[in-house]
């Protein structure tokens, strides 16, 4: 099995996003990107992989992240998969609603990926996790929910169903519906960031989705 792994061309993955991709925790004193455990999961499955972790803490989708993705894709590198997680920082900006974040940011990013490398690149689109302040019943959480529904609908209605998958972090890493305070503390490090255990859970959700497409 190990010999077969050495002979296979590694899967090339770009993980782009903000602090949740960079693995920010302990108020920026430490980092545990999900790419670390995702690499381990591929290794354990004897699937060679090369993951470029390109998370930038504090970055907003509009306009910075989309421009950064455009630069990354223009350097001639081809990726088998691109994982996109963004929108958390944009949602904190009262001048941007879900429509702006999606239509001017995430949707163009998705289309950049799907049109990259002779349309061979596959895309992982991820929803935005809850924050610990506002429960889904609060009006302050409406934009996040609207944005997540736009992401879900884009994937569901895509004409590239064999090249795009949804990883619904909103449902896979809940906060307010978890009744155990111990479990909350194991997963969430602060208002919007995760612990290493939480980032590892994110990696597992991504791996489980991707492996079904390999």
Span 47-65, pLDDT tens digits:
999 999 999 999 999 999 9
**Could you tell me the CATH superfamily of domain 11-211?**
SGNH hydrolase (3.40.50.1110)
- The lowest-confidence range among 12-16, 25-29, 53-57, 73-77 is 73-77
Q: DSSP 3-state helix, strand, coil percentages of the chain (rounded to 5)? A: 50, 15, 35
Residues 15/55, Cβ–Cβ less than 8 Å = yes
pTM score, whole prediction: 0.94
| Contact indicator for 90, 101 with CB cutoff of 8 Å | yes
How many whole angstroms separate alpha carbon 167 and alpha carbon 155?
10
Please tell me the predicted confidence (pLDDT) of residue 87: 98
pLDDT band at 214 (very low <50, low <70, confident <90, very high): confident
For 50-107, what is each residue's pLDDT tens digit? 999 999 999 999 999 999 999 999 988 889 999 999 999 999 998 999 999 999 999 9
Mean pLDDT within 200-208: 98
Q: Give yes or no for a contact between 136 and 161, defined as CB atoms under 8 angstroms apart.
A: no
* Cα–Cα dist 189/98, whole Å: 25
CA distance 66 to 64: 6
Domain boundaries, the chain: 11-211
Give the strand pairing for 24-25 and 30-31: antiparallel
Cα separations in angstroms, 67 against 31, 92, 120, 154: 24, 20, 21, 21
> What end-to-end distance do the CA atoms of the chain give, in Å?
17
């Amino acid at each position: 099995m190990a010999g077969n792994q050495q002979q296979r061309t590694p899967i090339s993955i770009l993980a782009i996003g903000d602090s949740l991709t960079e693995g920010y925790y302990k108020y920026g004193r430490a980092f545990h990107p999900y790419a670390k455990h995702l690499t381990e999961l591929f290794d354990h499955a004897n699937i060679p992989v090369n993951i470029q972790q390109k998370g930038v803490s504090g970055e907003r989708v509009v306009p910075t992240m989309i421009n950064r993705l455009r630069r990354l894709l223009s350097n001639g590198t081809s990726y088998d998969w691109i994982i996109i997680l963004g929108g958390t920082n944009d949602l904190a900006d009262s001048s941007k609603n879900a429509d702006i974040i999606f239509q001017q940011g995430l949707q163009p990013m998705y289309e950049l990926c799907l049109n990259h490398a002779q349309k061979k690149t596959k895309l992982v689109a991820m929803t935005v996790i809850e924050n610990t302040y506002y429960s889904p019943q609060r009006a302050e959480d409406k934009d996040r929910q609207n944005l997540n529904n736009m992401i879900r609908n884009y994937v569901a209605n895509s004409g590239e169903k064999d090249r795009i998958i949804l990883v619904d972090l909103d449902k896979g890493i809940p906060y307010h519906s978890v009744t155990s305070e111990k479990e909350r503390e194991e997963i969430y490090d602060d208002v919007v960031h995760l612990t290493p255990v939480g980032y590892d859970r994110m990696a597992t959700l991504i791996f489980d989705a991707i492996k079904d497409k390999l």
